[in-house]
Structure 1
Amino acid sequence: MFHSIIPPYLLEQLERSASDPSLRARFRQSLQHDAVLRTRPAARREAVTEAADGRQRKVYDAEHGTDLPGTLVRSEDDDPVQDKTVNQAYDGTGATWTLYKECFGRDSIDDAGLALISTVHYDRGYDNAFWDGSQMVFGDGDGEVFGNFTASIDVTGHELTHGVTQYTANLAYDGQSGALNESISDVFGSLAKQYAAGQSAADADWLIGAELLLPGVQGVALRSMKAPGTAYDDPRLGKDPQPADMSGYVDTEDDNGGVHINSGIPNRAFYLVATEIGGNAYDDAGKIWYGTLTSGNLSETASFKEFAEATQATARALFGDDSAQLAAVTKSWQTVGVLEDQTTLMNAAQSSLEPSAPPSAPPSVPSPPGTDE
């Protein structure tokens, strides 16, 4: 399954707004190329090979072509090379592997030592990075709006997590389950960056793709988990369309039912959980989300509510009925409108049971003239 970091609606907006014909052509080419890739079956996987510590990375160079994987340019334990993008791809996949191994005990994407394959310099001016069901692929960007797609660890972590979801809950890429698929990738992409930088939940920027936007773009990142809808407001990109809660949920057939748009709602729920619990987001909050993803209890078409209730069940199992972790999970899903606030419901129910005021006496009607009182 093809999963890309830049959604089609963003490339469509860039194509519409571009005044430079050559730049418009680059956006159109990326958009058309992605449309073709979405129709292709998942690529065949390379045989698993393991290094001594279980981690195996291989970075290839497509040399601006589209044949995968390309020419091998760096393998596990090789020294850095002169090409910065090769080293960034190597480091980003390594940071993601380390997060999963050290925080959650997972051995690579498939939990069985799958080699982490990356290809850089894919196509010319290609505005995306994607997971194709087998490996990571990075474009160099258009040079005006987006730079090299290897620059953000969270983008690499995001795309590799699509692979983790593929091997675990396998959430359908449509509607709310698709938005959860996207959100889970943002969550663990952000955690990979936070773990690599040693950041607490309070210190993290909670931005996805902050390093992709080039100078002159009016924005800070592709998405903000802390404040969905505020990542950018730029004449070329348009305004960030993500809602922060269910009151702004976007009902659309575009983008597989709004998977990149509505993912802002569960993204914010995770941010709220992590900051409410405090400490490192890859500890308690991360364990709740990872445990939910790998529990085997999620349906492939899980709704936001089903996922929220599953995170409650995981928090309860890990930390107990009266735990601060469970309270934080419940409060966060209520804040974004996925779960109903039981206190509000109880107050409403109590109000409906209170006796109503006695009816007032009917007004007196004067007797017709000429009659006895």
Structure 2
Amino acid sequence: MTTQNHGIFCGIVPPHVLDRLAQSEDPRHHEPARSTLEHDGALRTRRRVTALQTTAAPSAGTPSDSPRRTIYDAQHRATQPGKKVHSEGEAPSKDATVNRANAGLGATFELYLKVYGRHSIDDAGLPLDATVHYGQGYNNAFWDGSQMVFGDGDGDIFLDFTIPVDVIGHELTHGVTQHTANLEYYGQSGALNESVSDVFGSLIKQYALGQTTDQADWLIGQGLLGPGIDHGVALRSMKAPGTAYDDDVLGKDPQPATMDDYVRTSRDNGGVHINSGIPNRAFYLVAGALGGHAWERAGKVWYATLTGGQLASDAQFADFARLTAATARTLYGEGDEVQAVLKAWSQVGVPTS
């Protein structure tokens, strides 16, 4: 399968958060934020230009039930991949960041293989590469179309980006989307792209911890916010979009939970990190209604919808909602699963018919 590379730069920290920090009068806040924004902008442009010139080659890996992980150290320079510091099967590193990155890649590989029968990101054994210690005080982590990159954070607003396993799973899932539905990174299709990454990022964390739906925190990036944040728990909440933070430094979490508060904006590719709260909440409601392990029935409906070949790259929320209902019907018949899906989308204001 050949996938188009649209040159999308997918970072975990939303631009509106970095914009807010960049406007701070405190140099501890604005200097790392401005540097990160400037760097992300350059990466975004570079990826767009590269995408115009190339089409991603077909996957050439050999599917295996074991991951092939390699961790590189950028040594605080903005270079990729950096110096190789850990290969698959080697003893743990003395560097905790390297070990966390390696473990997060492994946790992601394991969920996709054990639960969904998927062999790595492309389902063809793609090696999993990651670069750590990227840049100086770099406040982001991203999937660049072929590998993961992690900043160390500034130590005040953001800590090391390898700390939350759901952040690693989120970013790698952008790769899964790239190789399947390839959702356009703008407007509602872009918000679906972000939401799918939040969904599977959260499932990867829940699977690794063996959590049921009621045990999970449904937070994205819990543990990432540093000591400079007084009133914030994570980057996003799937359970209660708009409540992850309300802080003098970060501002107020702008995510809506329903279509009543849908945000129309030209910023952030049409609000992809903001309006993703709506499908996030829908998934949380489906998982909660079905109970047990969210990666099972709810997760299988979302995965089959993403990978089934029916989801258009420019799909809107209503398209995705209709397909999840149809997928639930195909997988489980006219049972609790279909009712949970229909009710969840109704609760967030997205039509399924």
Q: TM-score range by the shorter chain?
A: over 0.9
Judged with a 3 Å threshold, the aligned counterparts in structure 2 of structure 1 residues 123 and 240 are, in CA distance, closer, same or farther, namely same
Q: Which runs of 5+ in 2 are unaligned?
A: 1-7
Q: Which residue of 2 aligns with 1:166?
A: 178
User: Could you tell me which amino acid in structure 1 is paired with residue 121 of structure 2?
Assistant: I
Give the partner amino acid of 2:141: A
Equivalences for 1:275-286 in 2 at 5 Å? Answer: 275-286=288-299
TM-score scaled to structure 1, two decimals? Answer: 0.88
Conserved? CA contact 1:26–1:126, under 8 Å = yes
Structure 1 residue 48: Cα displacement = 5.6
In structure 2, C-alpha distance between the alignment counterparts of 1:203 and 1:93, rounded to whole Å: 23
Task: Determine the C-alpha separation between the residues in 2 that align with 1:145 and 1:175.
Answer: 28
Give the drift of 1:46.
Answer: 12
- Show the 5 A alignment for 1:152-231: 152-217=164-229, 218-231=231-244
Letter matched to residue 264 of structure 1: G
Change (3 A) 1:172 1:46: closer
How much has 1:23 moved relative to structure 2?
A: 3.7
Deviation, structure 1 residue 53: 3.7
Deviation at 1:305, TM superposition (A): 0.2
Q: 1:20 is matched by which residue type in structure 2? A: D
What is the root-mean-square deviation of aligned Cα atoms in Å?
A: 1.7
Q: 1:30 is aligned with what amino acid? A: T
Instruction: Give the letter aligned to residue 338 of structure 1.
Output: V
Contact 1:50 1:56 in 2 (8 A): no
- Post-superposition CA distance 1:323-359 (Å, at most 9, x none): 100000000000000027x9xxxxxxxxxxxxxxxxx
Distance in 2, matches of 1:48 and 1:209, equals: 32
Q: Is the 8 A contact 2:64 2:125 kept in 1?
A: no
Number of equivalenced pairs: 339
Q: In the alignment, is residue 98 of structure 1 matched against residue 105 of structure 2?
A: no
Residue aligning to 2:37? 31
TM-score (norm: length of structure 2): 0.93
Rounded Cα–Cα distance in structure 2 between residues aligned with 1:105 and 1:219: 36
Q: Percent identity?
A: 60
Local SS of the residue matching 2:130? strand
Q: Which residues of 2 match residues 57-72 of structure 1 at below 5 A? A: 57-72=69-84
Q: Per the alignment, do residues 226 and 22 of structure 1 end up closer, same or farther by CA in structure 2, a change over 3 Å counting? A: closer
Among candidates 4, 14, 24, match of residue 21 of structure 2:
14
Q: Which runs of 5+ in 1 are unaligned?
A: 343-373
Read off the aligned partner of 2:317 and give its amino acid letter.
F
- 8 Å CA contact 1:59–1:72 kept in 2: the answer is yes
What is the CA-CA distance between 1:275 and the residue it aligns to? 0.6
* Matched position secondary structure for 1:121: strand
Superposed CA deviations along residues 141-170 of structure 1, whole A, max 9, x for unmatched, are 011110000000000000000000000000
Matched residue, 1:345: none
Q: Which runs of 4+ in 1 moved over 4 A?
A: 42-52
Q: Distance in 2 between matches of 1:52 and 1:266?
A: 32
Which of 151, 155, 159 is the aligned partner of 2:163? 151
1:46/1:323 Cα in 2 relative to 1: closer, same or farther (>3 Å)?
A: closer
How far has the Cα of 1:20 moved from its partner? 2.7
Whole-angstrom CA distance in 1 between matches of 2:73 and 2:102: 12
Work out the CA distance in 2 between the residues paired with 1:53 and 1:297: 27
The question of whether the paired residues in 2 share the 8 Å contact of 1:46 and 1:134 is answered with: no
State the distance in 1 between where 2:164 and 2:204 align.
Answer: 10
Larger radius of gyration: 1
**Match status 1:241 vs 2:241:** no
